[in-house]
Amino acid sequence: MQPTSAEKTGQAERASGGASGAESGDAALLDAITGAAAAAARGIAARSGQRAHLDVRAKAASDFVSEVDIEAETLIRTLLAARFPGAHLMGEELAPGAPPARGLTFVIDPLDGTTNFLHGYPEYAVSIAAAVDGELAAGVVHNVATGEVFTARRGAGAFRNGEPMSVSAVDDPQRALIGTGFPFRAVDVLADYVHQFHAVARATAGIRRAGSAALDLADVACGRFDAFWEPLLSPWDFAAGALLVREAGGIATDLAGGPIALARGSILAGNPALHRWLLDLLSSLPRQTR
C-alpha cells in the first residue's frame, strides 16, 4: 500500500530532524518540491501573456524582479511551510540569508531567467532544492516554457520527465559544447571571465549562454551540454541543478575544484572527463584581476 501524503510528510520531517539520509524522507521531500514547482510554473505560465503590463523593478544593473517572481515565491513558500512548518525557507526575493547548519532548508528560485521571461525567450524555470543538515537531498528544475521537469534525489539518480537521464560521454574538448553564464552582477571578475571565455572558445566546439543557470545545469545532467561554468552565482541559482548533475553521473564543484556550499560562489559542472579538463584549463589561466 502506498503511504498517504500525511505519512510521507511525517517521514520527511523525521528525516530532517535526524536520519538525514533516509530514503523515504528524501522521496517525500522530492514529492513536495516537485508539486510546489509545478504549481508555481502554472501560475507563471498563466501570466506569460501579460508581460507588457507587469510591475517590474531593477534590483541592480541588468537584474530585474517582477510581480510574477514574488507571486511564485510566495506560493512556493506557502505550500512548503504548510507541509514542513519547521523548515528554513531560503529564496532570492524574500529571504536570501544564509541557511542554518542543521535541519531542513528549502532553497528556492521562483523564476530563474526573469529577463528571459519578460522578453518571451523560452529559457526560464522554477528551481527548488531541499537540503538536510547542509547536504542536498532533493532537487527539481521545472522549465516553464517547455514543460520539461528535471528531478533528482541523493543516491537515487536523476530524471527528465520521469525517465532516467545521464551526463554525456564526450571526452574530447574539441567536440564539447560548453554552457556558461556571464558575471553581470560582479564586474570586478569580468576581466578574468573574458580571459576564461576566450580560452574555452578556442578549445571547444562552442559555448552557449542561455540565461538560466538552473536550466544550464539541467542540460549538463541530460547530456545536452558537456560542461558548464560560471564565476559567481547565488545558491538558489545552482542548488537543484548541482544535485541533478551529480545524480546523473557528473561532477559539480566550485572553480577551484572544492565542494559547493549553500552560499554565493562559483560553479563548474560536467561529465567526469570534461569537468577535469575544464577545471585544469581554468586553473592554468593567469589572474587578470587583482
To the nearest whole percent, how much of the chain has pLDDT over 70? 81
Residue 287: pLDDT band with limits 50, 70, 90: confident
pLDDT mean across residues, the chain: 86
Confidence at residue 189, expressed as pLDDT on a 0 to 100 scale? 81
For 12, residues 6+ apart whose C-beta sits below 8 A from its C-beta are 24, 25, 26, 28, 29, 32, 84, 104
- Quick one: which H or E segment has residue 17? helix 5-17
The string of pLDDT tens digits covering residues 4-35 is: 333 333 334 333 443 334 566 999 999 999 99
- Decide if pLDDT at 40 tops 70: yes
Residue 62: pLDDT band with limits 50, 70, 90: very low
* Gap between the Cα atoms of 237 and 240, Å rounded: 8
Cβ atoms within 10 Å, residue 289:
11
Cβ atoms within 10 Å, residue 67:
14
Residue 70: pLDDT band with limits 50, 70, 90: confident
Pairing of strands 206-208, 227-233: unpaired
